[in-house]
Amino acid sequence: MSNIYGQNIKISIFGQSHSPAIGVTIDGLPAGFAIDTNELGTFLQRRMPGQGKHTTERREADEPEFLSGLVDGVTCGAPLTAVIRNTDTRPSDYDRLWDIPRPSHADYTAYIKYGETRDVRGGGPFSGRLTAPLCVAGGIFLQLLKREGINIAAHIVQIGGIADSEQMPAAIEEARQAGDSLGGIIECAAVGVPAGIGEPMFDGIENRLASVIFGIPAVKGIEFGNGFAAAGLRGSENNDAFFMSGGSVKTRTNNHGGILGGITSGMPITFRVAFKPTPSISMEQDSVSLSKKENVKLTITGRHDPCIVPRAVPCVEAAAAVAIYDVLLA
Amino acid sequence: MSNIYGQNIKISIFGQSHSPAIGVTIDGLPAGFAIDTNELGTFLQRRMPGQGKHTTERREADEPEFLSGLVDGVTCGAPLTAVIRNTDTRPSDYDRLWDIPRPSHADYTAYIKYGETRDVRGGGPFSGRLTAPLCVAGGIFLQLLKREGINIAAHIVQIGGIADSEQMPAAIEEARQAGDSLGGIIECAAVGVPAGIGEPMFDGIENRLASVIFGIPAVKGIEFGNGFAAAGLRGSENNDAFFMSGGSVKTRTNNHGGILGGITSGMPITFRVAFKPTPSISMEQDSVSLSKKENVKLTITGRHDPCIVPRAVPCVEAAAAVAIYDVLLA
Amino acid sequence: MSNIYGQNIKISIFGQSHSPAIGVTIDGLPAGFAIDTNELGTFLQRRMPGQGKHTTERREADEPEFLSGLVDGVTCGAPLTAVIRNTDTRPSDYDRLWDIPRPSHADYTAYIKYGETRDVRGGGPFSGRLTAPLCVAGGIFLQLLKREGINIAAHIVQIGGIADSEQMPAAIEEARQAGDSLGGIIECAAVGVPAGIGEPMFDGIENRLASVIFGIPAVKGIEFGNGFAAAGLRGSENNDAFFMSGGSVKTRTNNHGGILGGITSGMPITFRVAFKPTPSISMEQDSVSLSKKENVKLTITGRHDPCIVPRAVPCVEAAAAVAIYDVLLA
Amino acid sequence: MSNIYGQNIKISIFGQSHSPAIGVTIDGLPAGFAIDTNELGTFLQRRMPGQGKHTTERREADEPEFLSGLVDGVTCGAPLTAVIRNTDTRPSDYDRLWDIPRPSHADYTAYIKYGETRDVRGGGPFSGRLTAPLCVAGGIFLQLLKREGINIAAHIVQIGGIADSEQMPAAIEEARQAGDSLGGIIECAAVGVPAGIGEPMFDGIENRLASVIFGIPAVKGIEFGNGFAAAGLRGSENNDAFFMSGGSVKTRTNNHGGILGGITSGMPITFRVAFKPTPSISMEQDSVSLSKKENVKLTITGRHDPCIVPRAVPCVEAAAAVAIYDVLLA
């Protein structure tokens, strides 16, 4: 069940880092929608590694094949399935990972949950690679939402504690050279969502968005509107005054992030997502041998992304699109 | 659907602030469990207003009546329904609220969603009063979890920016006298949850906990382990080293909050919840007349809780108990 | 989970035959609907025992109290909860039933599933009494559907093999005097459901209707349109020819029961439901002692309904209304 | 949502008759299970057309490719996706079908639901071809159930009203030559399901089984145990006496079909499924032109299966395996 999300639409994500393919099935798309595959491709490109350098050749590799749900590129009402082949699935040397869990990865918890037969290759089903089918689904929902006048956009507000976007690349490069990694915070806004969408209590916009967003690996927190900062404010500071604006009700400020009682107010939905630093670092770390039940030292080799935050921006947009489209249909 | 939560158990909460009763139905309780009603009463007392002063008379009022699911105080496998009568449901003067939404309350969004026939009395279904049945359910699950060696406890880490618990009461009193209100942050830990519980992606522990926690009114953020602070750390600082401890695997630190890849590591589950300041304040505020479509001034009269954070502590524990018990059964 | 039904609305039924109360919570009702409580009362009366004789005094007893979801008799968008008190819950002598399961009742399976603490009093949660809250929910949905031009009506087509409605009462009376019981078949039609409602595969109208209908105790079969008879026909006999009728497409016959590929055709939805004879009979039967693990003879005493089929007619209508309203919202 | 089934496991079926591929994702398989692909292949072969004649070449065509969920043929806990390529997807002439719905097919209801952009090629998502992925899922669950000592087997009890299995082939051949078609009834039994599985009311074994079985195209009825025949029996005839057999409780007869109150009794689960005759027949039929809104004559050309009942036998087993495995995990 863990890989299925949605109430009015359902997305079902499958695959592991080194399985033959990864993909997604979307159940509940309206019939008659012509997917703009160029726009989708451009969107998927944003989560690709090495942007700006090797973009083109990698993009080919991640181009989704649509197995069902379309007739001549137009949705027909049947579930849409898109798959992306894992081209590089040669049996690498994962013997060490099989026995020694990487700190702050899911290696150990996967071992406890799935046992000896878990898929350890490249993180298996916990791999960040699974965000590719999430972005395929999200990319399609972004197109559908745009048609309804709803636009979703995310951006980085902080990487490794640095809020200045010009200094971020240098900080990432410095972490890379140190064999270390950085986390960060992404902010997202959805503009154009009409007032009155959502439900009280357990199916509020916050609940539904959080349910998808925590599906992105490395996310450790989410806050809406003023979020944690609101805890330090007074009601007179945090309350958003209503006023009439051209016949419709608006608020002068948007400390509530567009959501009151779980339901949209018509103001932009705003939220921030905290990403922990990539747990894969080159430095020697303390771990254990699961077979020998003893402490060991672990050095993770190979190339690692010192900061996944830039590539996570479209993932946050995709997750938000899935959640908001789902709630819109309720 | 909005008031139903759970996958393996289901809690279904009903009622409005001024309906004849509020209550909860719990589907999926094991048969043969003797509910300790004294312990439950003590738990429910913690979310009652005016603790320490008028405790006794109020507690009577909120004592749940069990309509089903029990035989001689022991669960029989059938859904358990508990109701709490709303004793004070006299028709107060809500005419003004009916037309003028209170800033940062759900009055306006309820108007858009439900229209003229919404229940405006005391916040209707958006009232904090609905946390009483949540606490009835959570109180029962806390007892069940304790039997499994799992203990959940929450505490206040900050009120209105003040972290010193001795200064908090004075700050609240000061806000009350100023006709203002304060928010705060509650931290919660679940100790004893075995490793290997939870799922990757959309049914991780974080996703499931967030889905319930955002059901508590006034919650605007949630973070696990280091949470938002992790975004400012390096991998070498945030990673939790594994080591052997008496034959079992533990981590030296718990920056991951007991969850890796959505699955429990066996370390305590830790999370923090941000509450916005109570939107009901005595100061005059800007709002609108929904009928006349014009700007108006609103002054909310009557007694208001200047800070709901102390009463929200058991609610957080209750919500956590519901989510964790549900996931344990998967 | 077993007592919750629905995808777009949810009904959650609770109670046992001898618990303080039984009831239902309906989540997802539209706001602004004025329930006609007289009409609802008349509907509930149809499933009451002893119709025509002691109607009045019993009806009082089964009148639902609305605990939530209404303001001045009009739905407000919040979950509606209705409860019916079990007035006759004196501790009868159920010792024998506790140890000796009644043949073809759920006594034995309840014992295996819930163990010693199950509720054996009057069948506990398996009692036909639980169809009262189902009828409360169904009665409300019937009113909502009628507003949409959809009418649902059921009737008895057979009791104990007798299809002539004038001979049925005598057959029931004869069975009563023999200490025996009779089953029967109820046919139901829903007229006015627009074409194009439903889904292929697992959420077709048949699947959804069957899911609710089998929730009525004693149901052992369901068939749509020609049903089992279709198995003996040729395609040329069973196919329903299309033709134009006043600008809209209709079929000359309705062997398909208004459903093709799980989706409504606009023709009346028709289905039949098979009820087994009431398992409570006065004759001595073979059973076992669960404690002594030995064969025993069992004679069930007290008044039993020799045929529940007449009282089940509104239950079938109620179940159909719940399922069809739920699917209509999809 | 329509193509997703399950509470504790989820199967998600996708594809159309002429899409690039059809397939299924199974979420919730236990880790560590080695799928016997030979056994699965043999099972899938049973639903292939032209058994005994062109078996080999067709079987190749329908061999599933596993995209995820396996490591070296063993489940790893991640969702398993299997796809089957549609090799024959050349653009046939569906122009006529596009405008003229075939009687008793889903052509017309699909037109109303999905509009102009529906997939009409070969029945699109309503095609019996979608039972292939159902059988992939069911075949795997049959293997898992067998490991638990549970065996499921179905057989034909009637084709076109003929119960003698030796006369059935001739009846089918006769119908083929007449350009007509036949329906039939399949009986299924699940042996070895322990007592105490299932739930009362909406999640009983009957409800859950019916939900999947009606997902098979052409099914119009289902009955459990004595089913519709029970409606004509007396309680004294239909009741199943309990007796002790080697320390465990059994019933002398199995009129209840192994289910009492929605819960298994430990006796074999038995049910029968009614299939309507294949709607595709060669005879001229009355239909309408959707574009011209006028009556027309339709003659369906090409080869048609005059009776799908023989090929539906493994589909019923597969559907039963999915439902029973799902309920077993509850």
How many Cβ atoms from other residues are within 10 Å of residue C52's Cβ? 5
**Which whole-number Å values give the CA distances from A151 to A137, B18, B275, C258, in the listed order?**
16, 39, 28, 41
Cβ A10–D14 below 8 Å, yes or no? no
Mean pLDDT throughout B38-60? Answer: 69
Q: Closest to D240 (Cβ–Cβ): which among C103, C202, C219?
A: C103
Partners of D118 on chain A (C-beta within 8 Å) are 31, 76-77
Task: Scan for tokens 């359910």, then name that residue.
Answer: B137
Which H or E element spans position C159? strand C151-159
D110/chain C closest Cα distance in angstroms: 7
Please check whether residue B68 is in contact with residue C19, taking contact to mean a CB–CB distance below 8 angstroms.
Answer: yes
The pLDDT value recorded for residue B2 is: 85
Mean pLDDT throughout A9-23? Answer: 96
Please check whether residue D236 is in contact with residue C283, taking contact to mean a CB–CB distance below 8 angstroms.
Answer: yes
Cβ A240–B103 below 8 Å, yes or no? yes
pLDDT digits (tens, 9 = 90+) for C264-304: 999 999 999 999 999 999 999 999 999 999 999 999 987 78
Kindly report the pTM of this predicted structure.
0.96
Cβ D233–C183 below 8 Å, yes or no? yes
C72/chain D closest Cα distance in angstroms: 32
How many Cβ atoms from other residues are within 10 Å of residue B217's Cβ? 26
Partners of A129 on chain D (C-beta within 8 Å) are none
Cβ B10–C28 below 8 Å, yes or no? no
* Interface with chain C: mutation pick from D22, D100, D116, D202, highest number of C CBs within 10 Å: D202
* Interface with chain B: mutation pick from A224, A239, A328, highest number of B CBs within 10 Å: A239
Cβ C242–D277 below 8 Å, yes or no? no
Query: If pLDDT is split at 50, 70 and 90, which confidence band does A265 have?
Result: very high
The pLDDT value recorded for residue A98 is: 86
Cβ A249–B290 below 8 Å, yes or no? yes
Q: Which amino acid is at A86?
A: N
Mean pLDDT throughout B54-81? Answer: 81
Q: Closest to B207 (Cβ–Cβ): which among A211, A221, A286?
A: A211
Residue C122 — left, alpha, or beta (φ > 0 → left; ψ -120 to 50 → alpha)? left
Partners of D222 on chain C (C-beta within 8 Å) are 210, 221-223
Q: Is the pLDDT of residue B27 over 70?
A: yes
**What residue in C sits closest to D182 (Cα-Cα)?**
C234
Mean pLDDT throughout B112-134? Answer: 94
- Look up residue A39 and give its two tokens: 């726009």
Q: Closest to D221 (Cβ–Cβ): which among C112, C203, C222?
A: C222
Q: Which amino acid is at C160?
A: G
Q: In chain D, which residues have pLDDT < 50?
A: 52-60
Partners of A137 on chain D (C-beta within 8 Å) are none
A29/chain B closest Cα distance in angstroms: 20
- C242-253 core/surface letters (b: 16 or more CB in 10 A; e: else): beeeeeebbbee
D327/chain C closest Cα distance in angstroms: 11
Cβ B32–C2 below 8 Å, yes or no? no
Mean pLDDT throughout B25-47? Answer: 97
pLDDT digits (tens, 9 = 90+) for A197-230: 999 999 999 999 999 999 999 999 999 999 999 9
| ipTM of model | 0.96
Rounded Cα distance between A232 and A255, Å, is 13
Q: Is the pLDDT of residue A56 over 90?
A: no
Q: Strand ranges (DSSP E) for B18-167? A: 21-27, 65-68, 70-71, 74-75, 80-85, 151-159
Q: Closest to B76 (Cβ–Cβ): which among C75, C77, C119?
A: C119
Q: Closest to D117 (Cβ–Cβ): which among A8, A31, A83?
A: A31
Query: If pLDDT is split at 50, 70 and 90, which confidence band does C56 have?
Result: very low
* Interface with chain D: mutation pick from C199, C209, C211, C239, highest number of D CBs within 10 Å: C239
φ and ψ at D318, to 5 degrees? Answer: -65, -45
Count contacts between B and C (CB, < 8 Å): 172
Angle between the N-to-C axes of helices D309-328 and D37-45, in degrees from 0 to 180, rounded to the nearest 10: 140
**What residue in D sits closest to A86 (Cα-Cα)?**
D67
Mean pLDDT throughout B143-171? Answer: 97
The pLDDT value recorded for residue D89 is: 62
Mean pLDDT throughout C150-178? Answer: 96
Residue with the larger pLDDT of the pair D285 and B54: D285
Query: If pLDDT is split at 50, 70 and 90, which confidence band does A242 have?
Result: very high
CATH 3.60.150.10 fits C4-328, yes or no: yes
Q: Is the pLDDT of residue B59 over 50?
A: no
Q: What is the residue extent of each domain of chain D?
A: 4-328
**What residue in D sits closest to A125 (Cα-Cα)?**
D78
How many Cβ atoms from other residues are within 10 Å of residue D302's Cβ? 8
C7/chain D closest Cα distance in angstroms: 10
Rounded Cα distance between C178 and D130, Å, is 52
The pLDDT value recorded for residue B97 is: 77
Mean pLDDT throughout C135-145? Answer: 98
The pLDDT value recorded for residue D303 is: 75
Partners of C251 on chain D (C-beta within 8 Å) are 103
**Which whole-number Å values give the CA distances from B307 to A254, B102, B165, B207, in the listed order?**
21, 17, 14, 27
B328/chain A closest Cα distance in angstroms: 12
Cβ C211–D215 below 8 Å, yes or no? no
Q: Which amino acid is at B115?
A: G
Angle at B86 between CA B82 and CA B88, to 5 degrees: 165
Helices (H), B32-130: 37-45, 55-61, 95-99, 107-114
Partners of C219 on chain D (C-beta within 8 Å) are 206
**What residue in D sits closest to A75 (Cα-Cα)?**
D117
B27/chain C closest Cα distance in angstroms: 5
pLDDT digits (tens, 9 = 90+) for B222-260: 999 999 999 999 999 999 999 999 999 999 999 999 999
**What residue in D sits closest to A24 (Cα-Cα)?**
D25
The pLDDT value recorded for residue D283 is: 95
Q: Which amino acid is at B160?
A: G
